[in-house]
């Protein structure tokens, strides 16, 4: 009888933990004319042009966006024309922090800094920003590619943050510039 109770409790604990964690497989994808290799969720596809126009109505939309089926969790990439080098990553971080603070004065800052990822300096900003009817978890990270600034952004609503924050960081930590 005790074994059955233990089994039932173990099974219940498994169900509760399963509901808490997202089950996603990350796989390396080569993007942006074979310049970048990065892990992305296997089930994500490139966002449709119609959804891009709806979600990013300004002309400053990302170059490439991978998204889940609902379009609620996104990983966006934008290779900007801004000149950049490894030596300038700290300067870009010092620019982006006050820029984002001014753009989103009520944002909740989690962290920002510079990491060495696969022998490259990568700057990052992690914050929760306000949206029309919700809050958005953002992990922005950036580095240089062929003398230009690569800006990457993972975002999801804060209701999905608990399940996706570790995955977002794994995505960031997988970036390889070829």
Structural domain count, the chain: 1
Domain residue limits at 70:
2-177
Q: What is the pLDDT of residues 33-91, one digit of tens each?
A: 999 999 999 999 999 988 888 888 777 789 899 999 999 999 999 999 999 999 999 99
CA 74/CA 149 separation, integer angstroms: 20
Query: CATH number of the domain that 149 lies in?
Result: 3.40.1000.10
pLDDT at residue number 132: 85
pLDDT at residue number 57: 78
Q: Which residue matches tokens 């596809």? A: 45
Phi–psi pair at 156, nearest 5 degrees: -160, 165
| 3-class DSSP assignment, residue 67 | strand
Phi–psi pair at 54, nearest 5 degrees: -75, -50
């Amino acid at each position: 009888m005790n074994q059955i109770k233990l089994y039932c409790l173990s099974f219940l604990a498994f169900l509760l933990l399963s509901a808490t964690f997202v089950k996603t497989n990350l796989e390396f994808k080569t993007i942006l004319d074979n310049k970048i290799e990065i892990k992305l969720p296997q089930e994500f596809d490139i966002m449709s042009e119609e959804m891009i126009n709806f979600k990013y109505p300004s002309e400053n939309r990302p170059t490439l966006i991978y998204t889940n089926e609902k379009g609620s969790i996104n990983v966006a990439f934008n290779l900007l024309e801004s000149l950049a080098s490894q030596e300038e990553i700290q300067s870009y971080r010092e620019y982006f922090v006050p820029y984002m603070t001014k753009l989103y004065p009520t944002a909740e800052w989690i962290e920002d800094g510079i990491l060495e990822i696969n022998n490259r300096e990568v700057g990052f900003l992690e914050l929760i920003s306000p949206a029309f009817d919700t809050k958005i978890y953002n992990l922005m990270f950036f580095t240089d590619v062929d003398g230009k600034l690569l800006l990457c952004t993972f975002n999801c609503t804060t209701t999905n943050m608990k399940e996706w924050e570790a995955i977002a960081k794994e995505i960031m930590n997988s970036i390889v510039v070829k």
